[in-house]
Amino acid sequence: MSAPSAIRYAKMNGLGNEIVVVDLRGSSKRFKAEEAAAIAARPETHFDQMMVLHDPPLTGLDAQILIYNTDGSLAQACGNGTRCVGLLAARDTGRSDFKYETAGGLLDVHVTNPGSISVDMGQPRFGWQDIPLSEPFHDTRRIELQVGPADKPIIHSPAVVNVGNPHAVFWVDDPAVIDIGRIGPMLEYHPLFPERANISIARIDSREAITLRTWERGTGLTRACGSAACAAAVSAARIGLTDRKVTVTLPGGPLVIEWRADNHIIMTGPAELEHEGTLDQIPLMAAG
């Protein structure tokens, strides 16, 4: 296999979560971190996450997906991006069901229509060493971590969980008044999170509804984060604040999250194709 002379991309979004999809199946090309960051820096190809499809390592899979953040670092999972990949695959193949390998595990995708694409995000992991945390916590439903004065913290006692990526979810009365743009970077790099973490602030609206805002590691503030929606949903259900099927409303819109009895999390929401083009003008595209 050899590197393609001109690499095509699709600029998409899932609830405003900016996604670029690149299909490198049949090619030996692998993006370096600096190449991914250069692609993200261009207005026409700016992304929160870039989903890069490679040849699958096993039969029965449609592709292996490497997921890049804006800064060129790798993510383990991206639910909004996976819905975008599924929508593009359904358009190109006429099929409805797909299976992809990611660093976070195998993901099944079912495309009903552009407004309803479901991804099996796998099983949440709650053990402190699986998230991972740098020190043991027996109960990860609520850990000792706070921002602000000890006697009157701004946020405190998050739930932590791994849903492909490490997540910390802080429960608050009003997510709109918390300056997550300032707090998020500090907590992303907190020593407690050796692999960094996605930081969310969430409000329980009812047993069927959650409001959520997220600072994504390696990216920053985004209009939607699918794995964070899953993290908030399972964390709320785990302490009995919600049912196991909820609507999580993010700045970009709602996702339906169901934590099934078999412990798998099903995320359902829309995806949209914005435009397509080639990356042949990107200066870092030498094979490597």
Q: Which pairing describes strands 74-75 and 198-206: parallel, antiparallel, or unpaired?
A: unpaired
Q: What is the mean pLDDT of the chain?
A: 94
Is 0.85 surpassed by the pTM of this model? yes
Nearest one of 257, 278, 275, 274 to 266, comparing CA atoms: 257
Residue 72 above 70 pLDDT?
Answer: yes
User: CA–CA separation, 82 vs 86, rounded Å?
Assistant: 6
Span 216-269, pLDDT tens digits: 999 999 999 999 999 999 999 999 999 999 999 999 999 999 999 999 999 999
Residue 62 above 70 pLDDT?
Answer: yes
Structure-block tokens of residue 229: 């929606």
User: CA–CA separation, 131 vs 86, rounded Å?
Assistant: 27
Q: Is the dihedral of CA 80, 81, 83, 88 positive or negative?
A: positive
Residue 183: the pLDDT is: 95
Residue 41 above 50 pLDDT?
Answer: yes
Marked catalytic residue, from 78, 109, 180, 285 = 78
Marked catalytic residue, from 38, 90, 133, 225 = 225
Respond yes or no: is residue 225 known to be catalytic.
yes
Which CATH homologous superfamily contains domain 146-263? Diaminopimelate Epimerase; Chain A, domain 1 (3.10.310.10)
Instruction: Check for a shared fold between 8-121+271-278 and 146-263.
Output: yes
Q: Confidence class of residue 282 from pLDDT cuts 50, 70 and 90?
A: low
User: CA–CA separation, 163 vs 126, rounded Å?
Assistant: 9
Residue 63 above 50 pLDDT?
Answer: yes
Residue 288 above 50 pLDDT?
Answer: no
Span 162-214, pLDDT tens digits: 999 999 999 999 999 999 999 999 999 999 999 999 999 999 999 999 999 99
What is the CATH code for 8-121+271-278? 3.10.310.10
Residue 284 above 60 pLDDT?
Answer: no
Residue 287: the pLDDT is: 40
Mean pLDDT value across residues 50-77: 95
Residue 285: the pLDDT is: 46
User: CA–CA separation, 82 vs 102, rounded Å?
Assistant: 10
How do the domains of the chain map onto residue ranges? 8-121+271-278, 146-263
Respond yes or no: is residue 78 known to be catalytic.
yes
